[in-house]
Structure 1
Amino acid sequence: MDKHFSYGKIFVIGSGFFALMLVWTFYNAYMPLILGDYIESRAIRGAIMGLDNLLAVLLIPIIGAWSDRLDTKIGNRLPFLVVGMPIAAFFFILIPYGAAITLWVLLVVDIVFLLAMTIYRAPVIALMPDHTPSEKRSTANGIINFMGGIGAIVALFGLSTLYGIDRAYPFIVAGLLLFLAFMLLYFTVDRQPAFAANTSEELEESQAANSFFHGIRLLKKAEFRGHLFILIAIFIYFIGFTGIEALFTVYAVEHLNMEESAAGFTLGFFSLAFVLFAIPAGLLGSKRGKAPMMLLGLIILPLIFISIPLLPFLNEFVSWINEIILLQITLFAAGVAWAFINVQAYPLVADLGGKNRIVFFTGLYYLFSMSSAIVAPAILGLLMDLFSHPALFYGAAASFFVAFFFLRKGSKIMTA
């Protein structure tokens, strides 16, 4: 083992991802409800929820490249963590208090929070490759993603419970955990890491931005028609997924009259199922084929979504089971179906161009998936405004059915 490499440091770096996912997951679940105190339109609330994705695509490549070049006494990554993480933690704690004053105070607090998160996101991601030799990066990345997944589950199960006690409590706890992660990182990571290199080009957002003009031009060519259909499928089904992620709690609270804390807790069953079934889904994809498993998921998941608005009626016939428990079971099944789709998607796209174009198609994957995350909450929010709350699930289901058509057509072209 390289004397400069330490799994202990990887777990500390993973604590940064744990806190990052903890905060983001809770923010995505509950910010639409907080905005609902002032804004009735789900489309406007959805547009605000897409702001973080827009900032990420625009600013993170710039910040990542800046952190590659910066040279200070505490290294090139830590200055961004010193600025971003404490400010993000402080303003996250302020969100419920800003919401109690006026909408404009809430929006100012929210924008500062989002900017602070954007400042440190790229540098904290770069810490892993800075401290890890290339042959160990897959293992280290697995550790970090696992800790991020745990953060998401803790947010929806643990912080949601605190939200039911007092709206401010989960923001305080999450903000303090984010600050604790900053302290651990500040006193643990190397100032001059042994494996440091320019990593800005490896960032998802950088690859998305770099692929925009060149990638779109290339995809216009006839020989890339199949590739384009597959990427369009990814863009379309991410509209459904991101919309559900951002607006499910709005549906549960405003339409089902659930407690806000119960809404976030219930959404946690979707995330839990995805974490539990990610590895089995990957193994099945390797055995049965990535596209066939994705197509299976793209049929099952929308059928589950269509059934969700019908659960209150179904509950009249199966009254022995609690309506909320029935919804939680349904969302768990949806999370399994989502694992069949999402686990296969990136490897499928990375394989499209062969070994010589892995980086290029990786960039296109991030471009198409992130672009949908910017617009999806506003699109599905508008459907909810126009056609009532159940339109969230019908719209999401439609996106998966349309994606099925494009993925099947693209796969047929690729195998012809």
Structure 2
Amino acid sequence: MKVDNSFSYGKIFVIGGGFFALTLVWTFYNAYMPLILGDYIESRAIRGAIMGLDNLLAVILIPIIGAWSDRVDTSIGNRLPFLVAGMPAAAVFFILIPFGAAWALWLLIIVDIIFLFAMTIYRAPVIALMPDHTPPEKRSTANGIINFMGGVGAIIALFGLSALYGIDRAYPFIVAGSLLLLTFITLYFTVDRNPAYAGTAEEEAEETQAFQSLAAGLGKIKKPEFRGQLFVLIAIFVYFIGYTGMEAQFTVYAVEHLKMDESTAGMTLGFFSLSFVLFAIPAGLVGSKWGKAPAMLVGLILLPLIFVIIPFLHGLASFLPFGSETLLLQAVLFLGGIAWAFINVQAYPFVADLGGKTKIGYFTGLYYLFSMSSAIVAPGLLGFLMDVFGHTALFYGAALSFLLAFYFLKKGSSIINDNTAAISNSKTG
């Protein structure tokens, strides 16, 4: 294949800056928006339902916008118009969130909706910039850079921005919004107007793949020959309920139940993300050695055990020499992030392999469809459990979701193995 001289990893790092800013903003938003909504709304279920709005917009609108950005033709290319429309607006309205919250609930909701819509406008196009600028044989490495930048953004959000939140609620929004605006300016003057490898980027956007699988016929997965694959996808849907719900409601639990400082709550959640980033590569190596499904099953047993311990840490901390419940909770969440790495690092490659080489795109889309759909209902569902059974129900509900996922994954992988063995025996026979 002819390699374009315009390709450079330096440009990929700049594009990765877009994903860095995207992840920085989303991570902080997910951690602290439930607390801000709590100034006006007591119900955790209602707050959770509002938190699911961004995922609903993602599933509905982003595939349409991604496809539109594939086809539009302007003097500044096909991706940049969406960045121009979305990124500055998202930056401004993200900065306005704490000020809207200080004024009235109706103003906060209006600002929030405009912010979410602006993020939706540019999300798929900014992600598509990487494949636009990268030859296919280098996309795995480039995607590693992009995901690394996203991981750094999440860690900075939960440690750095959380510290600023403790000083003044508005400071982290101003800093994150300014970084998003600076990222837009950098991208605008860096990315190519007519990139050499444009044409397949629509396939790279996870929301687009989810939409395409739905449009192509979700009913196919109900066929008897795909029964094992369906169980695997159900497992992914179920455990993402536990993960997404815990992520969205953790700061509510920490602040309202443990009486933790709001900034400390965000930093404590950061230990979960930190350990996931640190152990993502080792977990991948373990999956290569043990097999993807066995590694996931280990994580699906370990993580619920870790979650059910958390409600008992308050009593346990009083018997320890340092007597710090916060420090103990951070250590337990760090272990939880390792278990999550065992699960999440293997999940997409495992699903992509389910249909063989001829159905990679179809099952990739189904993976994103099932995982993203769960994020719509998870914050509200676990928030409802907290409303009815108390704050600790967050971790019991999340643990139950992982145990149910263990059952479905084990059953699904067993059916797939049996079918594979039967096909192999029929060929040799």
TM-score (structure 2 length as normaliser): 0.96
> Is the CA contact (8 Å cut-off) linking 1:215 and 1:364 kept in structure 2?
no
Instruction: Tell me the residue number matched to 2:224.
Output: 222
1:285 Cα deviation from its structure 2 partner? 0.2
Structure 1 residues 381-400: aligned runs within 5 Å = 381-400=383-402
Instruction: Tell me the residue number matched to 1:315.
Output: 317
1:228 Cα deviation from its structure 2 partner? 0.7
> Is the CA contact (8 Å cut-off) linking 2:62 and 2:121 kept in structure 1?
yes
> Is the CA contact (8 Å cut-off) linking 2:27 and 2:158 kept in structure 1?
yes
Instruction: Tell me the residue number matched to 2:290.
Output: 288
* SS of match in other structure, 1:100: helix
1:337 Cα deviation from its structure 2 partner? 0.2
Structure 1 residues 11-410: aligned runs within 5 Å = 11-212=13-214, 214-410=216-412
Counterparts of 1:331 and 1:257 in 2: how far apart (Å)? 18
> Is the CA contact (8 Å cut-off) linking 2:132 and 2:200 kept in structure 1?
no
1:100 Cα deviation from its structure 2 partner? 0.3
Instruction: State which drifts further: 220-229 or 103-112.
Output: 220-229
Taking every aligned residue pair, what percent have the same amino acid on both sides? 76
Gaps of 5+ in 1: none
Runs of 4+ in 1 over 4 A off after TM superposition: none
1:319 Cα deviation from its structure 2 partner? 4.1
Q: Counterpart of 1:195 in structure 2: which amino acid? A: Y
> Is the CA contact (8 Å cut-off) linking 2:59 and 2:207 kept in structure 1?
yes
Instruction: State which drifts further: 349-358 or 317-326.
Output: 317-326
Q: Counterpart of 1:383 in structure 2: which amino acid? A: L
* SS of match in other structure, 2:88: helix
1:214 Cα deviation from its structure 2 partner? 4.2
Q: Counterpart of 2:145 in structure 1: which amino acid? A: I
1:320 Cα deviation from its structure 2 partner? 2.3
Counterparts of 2:365 and 2:125 in 1: how far apart (Å)? 19
Q: Counterpart of 2:8 in structure 1: which amino acid? A: S
- 1:41-66, Cα deviation, whole Å (9 max, x unpaired): 00000000000000011001111111
Gaps of 5+ in 2: 419-429
- 1:314-339, Cα deviation, whole Å (9 max, x unpaired): 11221424110000000000000000
Counterparts of 1:44 and 1:38 in 2: how far apart (Å)? 11
Instruction: State which drifts further: 317-326 or 219-228.
Output: 317-326
TM-score (structure 1 length as normaliser): 0.99
* SS of match in other structure, 1:188: coil
Counterparts of 1:188 and 1:206 in 2: how far apart (Å)? 25
1:215 Cα deviation from its structure 2 partner? 4.5
Q: Counterpart of 2:162 in structure 1: which amino acid? A: S
Are 1:4 and 2:6 an aligned pair?
A: yes
* SS of match in other structure, 1:189: coil
1:213 Cα deviation from its structure 2 partner? 5.3
1:154 Cα deviation from its structure 2 partner? 0.2
Q: Counterpart of 1:352 in structure 2: which amino acid? A: L
- 1:219-238, Cα deviation, whole Å (9 max, x unpaired): 22111111111110000000
Counterparts of 1:393 and 1:228 in 2: how far apart (Å)? 26
